[in-house]
Amino acid sequence: MTITIVGHGYVGLVTACVFADFGNQVNVIGHTQEKINRLNSGDPIIYEPGLKELLQKNLSAKRINFTLDFEKPISESDIVFITVGTPPKINGEADLSAVITVAHEIAKSLKKGFTVVSCKSTVPLGTNKKIEEIINKNKSAGTEFAVASCPEFLREGTALKDTLLPDRIIIGSESDKAKEVLINLHKPIGGKRVITNLASAELIKYASNSILATKISFANLISFYCEKTGGDVETVLDGVGLDHRTGRNFLFPGLGYGGSCFPKDVKALLAIGNNLGVDTSLLKAVEEINKQAKENMIEKIIKFSPGKNIAVWGLSFKPDTDDIREAPALYIINLLIKKGFGIKAFDPVAMENVKKSFKGNINFVNDQYEAVKDSDALFIATEWNEFKQIDLNKVKSLLKSPVIFDGRNIYEPITMKELGFKYYSVGRI
């Protein structure tokens, strides 16, 4: 098939590379010449394990191309995917301006014949109907199209695996023909198929991210109980997770959720609920607990740090990505700086992004040992693998005081005590 993807962020670029690798001809439309040039030269712009190699392979095979032009790629395509961003507005609602702009461009460029216009962007209920209305109003006579919703569920850091081996493929449309086209496109990919209507597909995405955010906030709520009572949150959640009805996945106590999806999607579902007159108190509590998780760590650092020079390991919102959007580390660092703390930080891939966008003063260093050298304490904010089996005796010798604040529970409290550390983790005494 010939496919056009509008947008080259995590969703658009990964989707493009995977479908090109299956033998499809894929065009990707961006909005700045500088990024288009970088992508066409084999630079994926974002960090994602395995993505650079897959991009370069399909560029060499001439199965993927990046352009600013809408008309030619869309006029030749069987399927057009919309993968542009939908960031939150101040009131929490999703900003659909990019989606609306793209819908107008698609309408002007559609060919005669049948084209599926499928939205992968996370959008509120009714958005795909708006896309359909815009295209109907602005398309040329004789063109035939159908709108579909095909939400993505990839996780940054494992995006290629999640695209190739998903739990499910959601295809929502009012058109049987569009459903058939998308079913055929996804034949090389595993996962259960859920074939439904537009409204259900739109809601599945929000509901999925919101329940995962709820599990994280629930885990942090239990950690609050453990710190008050002497319980061990990891043991408690292991016990809970052995029940097959709940499982341990995403029952992760720590610094709360971050990234580009969970924060904005919880806010958007809150806004949708408010507009529909639905009681959203559960989602409000999820947001509040997520904030408390970060505040609790700040309180520990302020109360128990022997000095105000803090080493920080990890800046991205999760490991194996350079994405710093809504990263708990940056929220905590910002407030510590306001309290007069000095920060010396290391992250394997995210430091350049922080340098570009973070307003506070951070001293960036080349490795984790340089970060802890002569620092009063260490704060672990992201659970990168290289931190998990580090030489802790060396860390202890480089710190001014053997104090570690672990926001991700990557070490065992008994081991840390035996090594002579004062060790403050989450939900464990």
Helix 127-138, helix 97-109: angle, nearest 10: 30
The pair of three-digit structure tokens given for residue 141, joined into one six-digit string: 């006579």
Q: What is the pLDDT of residue 360?
A: 84
Does the annotation flag 224 for ligand binding? no
Query: What b/e sequence results for 96-130 when a residue is b if at least 16 CB atoms lie within 10 Å of its CB, and e otherwise?
Result: bebbeebbeebbebbbeeebbbbbbbbbbbebbeb
Q: What is the pLDDT of residues 410-429, one digit of tens each?
A: 999 999 999 999 999 999 98
Does the annotation flag 130 for ligand binding? no
Q: Can you tell me the mean pLDDT for 59-82?
A: 96
- Beta-carbon count within 10 A of 296 CB: 19
Tell me if 220 sits within 8 A of 293, measured CB to CB: yes
- Give, in order, the Cα–Cα distances in Å from 416 to each of 47, 92, 254: 33, 42, 18
Q: What pTM was computed for the model?
A: 0.90
Return the amino acid letter for 269: L
Q: What is the pLDDT of residues 143-154, one digit of tens each?
A: 999 999 999 998
CA angle 68, 71, 73 (to 5 degrees): 75
Q: What is the pLDDT of residues 10-43, one digit of tens each?
A: 999 999 999 999 999 999 999 899 999 999 999 9
Share of the chain above pLDDT 90, in %: 93
Structure confidence at residue 314 as a pLDDT band (50, 70, 90): very high
Q: What is the pLDDT of residues 379-412, one digit of tens each?
A: 999 999 999 999 999 999 999 999 999 999 999 9
Does the annotation flag 288 for ligand binding? no
Q: What is the pLDDT of residue 286?
A: 97
Give the largest CA-CA distance in the chain. Answer: 76
Does the annotation flag 155 for ligand binding? yes
Tell me if 199 sits within 8 A of 125, measured CB to CB: yes
Q: What is the pLDDT of residues 112-142, one digit of tens each?
A: 789 999 999 999 889 999 999 999 999 988 8
Residue labelled with tokens 């709820």? 214
Tell me if 151 sits within 8 A of 201, measured CB to CB: yes
Q: What is the pLDDT of residues 257-313, one digit of tens each?
A: 999 889 999 999 999 999 999 999 999 999 999 999 999 999 999 999 999 999 999
Return the amino acid letter for 105: E
The pair of three-digit structure tokens given for residue 232, joined into one six-digit string: 């061990």
Share of the chain above pLDDT 70, in %: 100
Q: Which residue has the higher pLDDT, 59 or 155?
A: 59
Does the annotation flag 19 for ligand binding? no
Question: Rounded to whole angstroms, how far apart are CA atoms 135 and 95?
Answer: 19
Question: Rounded to whole angstroms, how far apart are CA atoms 263 and 209?
Answer: 9
Q: Single out the catalytic residue among 17, 119, 150, 261.
A: 261
The values of phi and psi at residue 166, to 5°, are -75, 160
Does the annotation flag 251 for ligand binding? yes
The pair of three-digit structure tokens given for residue 250, joined into one six-digit string: 């995403």
Q: What is the pLDDT of residue 111?
A: 84
Does the annotation flag 177 for ligand binding? no
Q: What is the pLDDT of residue 241?
A: 96
- Mean per-residue pLDDT over the chain, rounded: 95
Structure confidence at residue 236 as a pLDDT band (50, 70, 90): very high
Tell me if 160 sits within 8 A of 14, measured CB to CB: yes
- Residue 261 known to be catalytic: yes
Q: What is the pLDDT of residues 165-210, one digit of tens each?
A: 999 999 999 999 999 999 999 999 999 999 999 999 999 999 999 9
- Give 110's contacts (C-beta < 8 A, 6+ positions apart): 74, 75, 135, 139, 140, 143, 145
Q: What is the pLDDT of residue 429?
A: 81
Tell me if 123 sits within 8 A of 102, measured CB to CB: no
Question: Where do the domains of the chain lie, and which CATH numbers do they carry?
Answer: 2-196 (3.40.50.720), 211-424 (3.40.50.720)
Query: In sequence order, what DSSP letters do the residues of 160-203 get, joined into one string?
Result: HHHHHS-SEEEEEES-HHHHHHHHHHTTTS-SEEEEE-HHHHHH
Does the annotation flag 86 for ligand binding? yes
Does the annotation flag 35 for ligand binding? yes
Residue labelled with tokens 């997770």? 241
Does the annotation flag 379 for ligand binding? no
Does the annotation flag 250 for ligand binding? yes
Structure confidence at residue 359 as a pLDDT band (50, 70, 90): confident
Strand ranges in 78-142 using DSSP code E only, listed in sequence order: 79-82, 113-119
Q: What is the pLDDT of residue 271?
A: 92
Does the annotation flag 325 for ligand binding? yes
Q: Can you tell me the mean pLDDT for 229-247?
A: 96
Does the annotation flag 215 for ligand binding? no
Q: How is the beta sheet containing 342-346 ordered, strand by strand?
A: 363-364, 342-346, 309-313, 377-380, 403-406, 422-424
